[in-house]
A and B are shown apart, each in its own frame.
Chain A
Amino acid sequence: MKFGHEYEQVLASEGFPEQWLNSAIDYKYLKKCIKKVHRQLLALGLDGETLSHLSGWVEQPDFKVKPLQHHDYYSAAQPDLNTISEEFTPQLRILVDAQTGQPLDATLTPETKATLQGLAQHEMILAGRKEHLGTRIEPVDESESGSDSHGTPKDRVSSITELPADARWVQVPLASAQRFFDLLAPKLEDLEALRAAETRKLEEEILDLGDAVENVVEPVREGFEAKREISYRDLYFWREMFRLYLESPIFYSESEQNRGPLTFAKAKERLEAYDKQLRETGLLSKMKTPAARQAAKQFLDLNVDILKIMHFQEVNARAMVKILKKFDKQTHLEGRLFLKSLRDKYPELVPPEGSKKIVPSGFANSIARDLHAEIASKILAIVPQLDDWNCPVCYAMAWRPVSLGCCRSVFCIRCIIKLQDEGMKRCPCCNKETVMSADGRNIDFETMDFLEKYFPLEVKRRQKENEKAQLVRDYGEEFVKPSCTVM
């Protein structure tokens, strides 16, 4: 399917809000613009062949080159591409004979062309150095160009003026091309504004949902015995729900090999898989309180909303890149310079040049990244995950938690006892000699309270294991082996 068609369809069928659609890039119309530019160029006698022939050496030098001297230009309205982004005007530059006004390009012999090309490149390098783009043709002087790097720019200018051939740069302002960019630029502003607004809105939603989740999972405090059973179990459901989410985050991959925002297609796939998982495990229906169920549904809806704006932005970014490529291809004008300036202006919009990796482009990219971080810190963090409270030695929950005081690591008491028994003096994490001096005072009571509050079941289990391990340590393996089992 052609992209233009596909684009229209996506915009029409995905149920995007009206306001968004108004900001969407008008791909069809821009395509028409390109055609117009193309026709206009043809009318000037500049067909594709001539243009591509020209583009070989009408390459722009470094675009950051600042003020230019305009005396060498027969130029209309805006004399030159005098710098970056906002001031950019599409134009075509042709080398013409100053006397006859004939374009020199098409009629030159291959030898002359080669010489001109060499010269042009040479001049461009020079121009970059002295910020002077205007040029006149001069015969190649090997000896001079060889020592050129030592000559001051001034010397160089004077030598240029002795030129025999009389050729100038001419610029042809292209009204229709201007129109193309005039149309495109405000759209980008719109898209950026939309991105900012939607991100803010979603961030607020995330905060609200965070409060809601907090209310339903808050582990029971003293004196609320009646509610205990309910919320305590809901806490575990929520934890499992978030654990699944963290295992395969929907908008942002955190795995070592391919960290980064995901494409819309991939994100959609993940959200569908997540939804399926929730259904299959029946987590949602197991939740006891209506408020909890409501919040869980809200959580899913939020993800759907993010996915939607991501889709919209991604398809727009694609449309933009495509239309600029088309512009380049059809007109051989410097559309890619426009793209480059866009990159500077909206780094979030356009994927960096040469990035072949399939990353979602543009706004979608930054939405995925920002909102992923928001969800993680404002919602998911409310329910602590077991993996974050593991002892770095045995990988089981750090119960009872012991801090050695040298670094922030928290170990389980069993591992510290084992380290002491083995005579391993150094902290496993920071290498300081703190293990041997650890005793009851090193128990981390703050963490202990926290774990008891959020992981009551795990704490119970660990406590039993610890007691058993202590017996083994004190009396030997035999002591704890069951001697008789009642079947």
Chain B
Amino acid sequence: MSAPLPKRIIKETERLQNEPVPGISAQPHDDNARYFDVMVEGPGGSCYEGGVFNLELFLPDDYPMCPPRIRFLTRIYHPNIDRLGRICLDVLKNNWSPALQIRTILLSIQALLGAPNPEDPLNEAVAKQWKENQSEAIETAREWTKLYAQKN
């Protein structure tokens, strides 16, 4: 790494370790403090409950002027998350503000799991299923959670 780590990233990381958000953890890599291994628990009462989802998070050089880059590593059946794990979430794109942080973004992602939005889909197939037969879609999401998102 060339440039020293900005104070902001150091402080955010510290706080994530010292006061973790319930159901969420983010651990920076030893060799790259801008790259985090993230774990998010499926919110209670949702079809992802009981699941533990792994994500990767990267803070670009411009952070916080641009949003962190985040992707699901665990497979998940969700209308706003595609097969590559990319997430369709406004605060990760146009609505990013430099006053947002890693912890607030991860909370937004956890909330997205609790409230899928098939009207603004990233994964057309899943969104279609979600709109046409919601109960079946939810059942599939549950099965996938059991299949792929179990803690090991």
Interface residues of A (CB under 8 A from B): 255-257, 392-396, 409, 415, 418-419, 422, 424, 426, 428-429, 431
A428 and B11 in contact (CB under 8 A), knowing A256-B21, A393-B64? Answer: no
Sorted nearest first, the 5 A-B pairs with minimum C-beta distance are A428-B99, A395-B8, A428-B97, A393-B98, A392-B99
C-alpha spacing A359/B78, complex, angstroms: 40
B45 an interface residue at 8 Å Cβ cutoff? no
Contact B98 A395 (CB under 8 A): no
Cα distance A409–B99 when bound, in Å? 10
List of B residues within 8 angstroms of A395 by Cβ: 7-8, 11-12
Docked complex Cα distance between A392 and B97 (Å): 10
Distance (whole angstroms) from the CB of B53 to the closest CB of chain A: 20
Q: Which residues of A contact B60 (CB under 8 A)?
A: none
CB-CB under 8 A from B12, the residues of chain A are 395
Check if B22 sits within 8 Å of A257, measured CB to CB.
yes
| Cα of A422 to Cα of B100 in the assembled complex, Å | 17
CA distance A393 to B101 in the complex (A): 9
Contact A424 B98 (CB under 8 A): yes
User: If A257-B22, A419-B65 touch, does A396 touch B98 (CB 8 Å cutoff)?
Assistant: no
The chain A residue sitting closest to B18, CB to CB, is: A255
Q: Give the distance in Å from the alpha carbon of A431 to the alpha carbon of B21 in the complex.
A: 25
The reply to whether A431 and B97 contact each other, CB–CB distance below 8 Å, is yes
* Cα–Cα distance between A82 and B16 once the two chains are bound (Å): 55
Cα A392 to Cα B99 in complex, Å, equals 6
12 A-B pairs with CB atoms under 8 Å apart are: A257-B19, A257-B20, A257-B22, A393-B64, A394-B6, A395-B8, A395-B11, A419-B65, A428-B98, A429-B97, A429-B99, A431-B97
CB B101 to nearest CB in A, in angstroms, measures 9
How close is B54's CB to chain A, nearest CB, in angstroms?
22
Residues of A within 8 A of B97 (CB): 426, 428-429, 431
Taking a contact as CB atoms under 8 Å apart, the answer to whether B7 and A255 are in contact is: no
Q: Which of B1-44 contact A (CB under 8 A)?
A: 6-8, 11-12, 19-22
Q: In residues 92-145 of chain B, which contact A (Cβ within 8 Å)?
A: 97-100
How distant is A252 from chain B, measured CB to nearest CB, in Å?
15
Q: Which residue of the partner chain, among A256, A394, A418, A419, contacts B8 with CB atoms under 8 Å? A: A394
Total residues of chain B contacting the partner, CB 8 A: 16
Listed residue (B7, B8, B100) with the most chain A CB atoms within 10 angstroms of its CB: B8
Of B7, B22, B97, B98, the most chain A CB neighbours within 10 A belong to B98
Chain A neighbourhood of B99, CB < 8 A: 392-393, 409, 428-429
Residues on the B chain within 8 Å of A392, using CB: 98-99
Complex Cα–Cα for A453 and B42 (A): 48
Beta-carbon contact of B65 and A422 below 8 Å: yes
Additional 4 contacts, C-beta under 8 A, given A393-B8, A395-B7: A255-B19, A256-B19, A396-B8, A415-B98
Interface positions of B (Cβ within 8 A of A):
6-8, 11-12, 19-22, 62, 64-65, 97-100
A422 to B61, CA, bound (A): 14
- In the bound complex, do residue A396 and residue B7 qualify as a contact, i.e. CB atoms below 8 Å apart? yes
Chain A min CB distance to B151 (Å): 20
Q: Quick one: closest B residue to A409, CB to CB? A: B99
Q: Please give, as numbers and ranges, the residues of chain B lying within 8 Å of A257 by CB-CB distance.
A: 19-20, 22
Q: Which of B6, B21, B99 has the most CB of A within 10 A?
A: B99
Residues from chain A with Cβ under 8 Å of B7 in the complex = 394-396
B65 touches A418 (CB 8 A): yes
Q: How far is the CB of A267 from chain B (nearest CB, A)?
A: 20
Bound Cα distance from A428 to B19, whole angstroms: 23
Q: Which of chain B's residues have a CB closer than 8 A to the CB of A419?
A: 65, 98
Q: How far is the CA of A166 from the CA of B12 in the complex (A)?
A: 75
Q: In the assembled complex, which residues on chain A have CB atoms less than 8 Å from the CB atom of B62?
A: 422
| B145, chain A: closest CB distance, angstroms | 25
User: What separation, in Å, do the CA atoms of A377 and B11 have in the docked complex?
Assistant: 25
A336 CB, min distance to chain B CBs, angstroms: 32
Q: A98 → chain B, closest Cβ, in Å?
A: 54
B-side contacts of A256, CB under 8 Å: 19, 21-22
Residue of B nearest to A392 (CB): B99
Q: A415–B65 Cα gap in the complex (Å)?
A: 9
Which residue on B lies nearest to A396, using beta carbons?
A: B7
The answer for the CA separation of A428 and B65 in the assembled complex, in Å, is 10
Complex Cα–Cα for A238 and B5 (A):
29
Across the interface, which residues of B come within 8 angstroms of A409, CB to CB? 99
Residue of B nearest to A397 (CB): B7
Residues from chain A with Cβ under 8 Å of B21 in the complex: 256
Q: Tell me the bound Cα distance from A431 to B62 in angstroms.
A: 20
Q: Which residues does chain B contribute within 8 Å of A431, judged by CB atoms? A: 97
Q: Which residues of A contact B65 (CB under 8 A)?
A: 418-419, 422, 424
Chain A residues with CB below 8 A from B8, complex form: 393-396
CB distance from B72 to the nearest CB of A (A): 24
CB distance from B2 to the nearest CB of A (A): 11
Q: Which B residues touch A424, using CB under 8 A?
A: 65, 98
Docked Cα-Cα span, A409 to B62, in Å, equals 22
CA distance A392 to B12 in the complex (A): 11
> How many whole Å from A402's CB to the nearest CB in chain B?
14
* Chain B residue contacts of A415, Cβ below 8 A: 98
Considering the chains assembled together, what is the distance between the CA atoms of A255 and B12 in angstroms?
15
